[in-house]
Structure 1
Amino acid sequence: MSEQGKVPPARRRGLADEVADRIREAIFTGTYAPGAQLREVELSGVLQVSRGPVREALRVLEREGLVHCAWHRGTTVTTLSPEDVAELTSLRGALEDLAVRRVIELASDEDLASLDKVAALMERADDEHEMVRLDIAFHDAVFASARHQRLVDAWEGIRCQVHLFLLTRIGRNTEGYLGRIPREHRELVTALRVRDTDSALELFAAHRRHAVDVVTGNTGPS
């Protein structure tokens, strides 16, 4: 093979990936809230690594939409604008509608049991951050049950931003949240189990709409 045609050697990125995992987890657990500054020097001290892997990890998280890097402000955890919320919700809705239709058509009893399992775990969630994590896990299971790999890939492309959106939602209001979310997801599972497409689509839409209303201040705490 000529010099021009050679493939360059692979780089070892394990440490940067691990750093990205740690920072992502800190965002998801509320250690770093939307708008919080992420300083390379502080992160390298906390994580006991050099600044290089931290810088690379922050680039990974920026591509995921979890952080925003600006030369005059440094790096901050993303704060979703009204436009961000609208775009994310419309795209999520389009993907989820397709997923729901395919789940009703194709899901096995085992697939539906996996949804039941996550919904049951929600009823025992200890706090809002655990509930958000289970909410995301439920929708992971919905997309997996749709049996459409490119649809799963599209969901993975916005998954972290949806997680951030749900963190924003609990940052606005948590009254009644731990009781409402398990109930909503039980209703979603029931509609999928009886293969009622119209009801399932409406319930999933209402589920998304209520979260948006809380974030945008268009509803009360119920």
Structure 2
Amino acid sequence: MTNAPLGKANRRGLAHEAADRVREAIFAGTFPPGSAVREVDLAASLDISRGSVREGLAMLEGEGLLRSAWHRGTTVVEVTAHDVEEVYAVRAALDRLAATSARRTASADQLGELDDLVDAMAIELDGDTSGPRLLALDIAFHDQVYAAAGNRRLTEAWEALRSQVYLFQLRRIAVGFEHYSARVVEEHRELAALLRSGKVATLARRAEEHVHSARQALLAHITADEQD
């Protein structure tokens, strides 16, 4: 879409504000994968300079949400099998380290927050379920695990991948919500319990399996689409 109704930007941190607004629009489906993101239209919609928009788009390109090509402009990344394989392979390694680190360092309050997030997922499933709201809780759970790990560089590595994971998980939910919703509470509750246990090897394995399950579910749909 062009001339997207994103709302006027605040008059401070305009490049970051532009990045935030466009990121939100991508996650909301206003700019679906493969669609063009035009600097001039965004500048008019947000009522800020093209320079600020350009800086914001560069931030999103750094997050892996956008791609730019000469004479082709800027587009939202496509969710391809190759990209899914790369992103989820890296995420599996990061999540394994985050989980095993958090098991040693997490405070009682941090573990309690993980339980609260799982409970919120269960409530969401019992009510008028929204895939994006459920995913927000899912990502918040993992944010909390990384925070509990207490490793700044590990958290930065997660944050560099986080937007792509969010976008790919949105695609997973769109094409296979039943598979996702049937597992999301049980898998996260198990991870929360293992973080309190002495079963380090089991925790490490489950953290990786949690990611690989998501990867396999998404790849199954992408491969089917590519063969059609």
- TM-score after normalising by structure 2: 0.83
**Alignment counterpart, residue 157 of structure 1, candidates 157, 160, 175:** 160
**Overall identity of the aligned pairs, in %:** 44
* Structure with a larger share of its residues in helix: 2
Q: CA deviation at 1:78?
A: 1.0
Which residue identity is paired with 2:169?
Answer: L
SS at match of 1:54: helix
Equivalent position amino acid for 1:33 in 2 = P
Q: Please say if residues 100 and 197 of structure 1, whose CA atoms lie closer than 8 Å, have aligned partners that are also in contact.
A: no
1:115–1:141 contact (8 Å) kept in structure 2: yes
Corresponding residue SS for 1:217: helix
Contact 1:95–1:151 (CA under 8 A) maintained in structure 2: yes
Per the TM alignment, residue 44 of structure 1 is displaced from its structure 2 partner at its CA by 2.2
Give how far 1:13 is off.
7.3
Report the equivalent of 1:37: 36
- Matched with 2:118 is 119
Displacement, 1:116? 0.9
The alignment status of 1:143 with 2:146, answered yes or no, reads: yes
CA contact (8 A) 1:93 1:205 kept: yes
Alignment partner, residue 47 of structure 1: 46
State yes or no: 1:169 paired with 2:168: no
How many residues matched? 208
SS of equivalent residue, structure 2 residue 74: strand
Contact 2:38–2:74, Cα closer than 8 Å, also in 1: yes
Q: CA deviation at 1:63?
A: 0.9
RMSD over aligned Cα, in angstroms? Answer: 2.1
Aligned residue for 1:184?
187
SS in 1 for 2:33: coil
Show structure 2 runs of 5+ residues with no match.
1-10, 223-228
Give the TM-score of the pair, scaled to structure 1: 0.85
In structure 1, distance between residues paired with 2:214 and 2:53: 33
- Per mean C-alpha deviation after superposition, the further-off stretch among 37-46 and 145-154 is 37-46
Shift of 1:82: 2.3
For residues 40 and 144 of structure 1, what CA distance do their matches in structure 2 show?
Answer: 34
Are the counterparts in 1 of residues 175 and 221 from structure 2 also a CA contact under 8 Å? no
- What residue is the counterpart of 1:7 in the other structure? none
DSSP 3-state at the match of 1:68: strand
| Higher-Rg member (1/2) | 1
Residue by residue over 1:68-98, the C-alpha shift from the partner in whole angstroms, topping out at 9 and shown as x without a partner, is 1112321111113322222212211222111
**1:202 shift after superposition:** 2.3
Match of 1:15 in 2: 14
The DSSP-based 3-state class of the residue aligned with 1:177 is helix
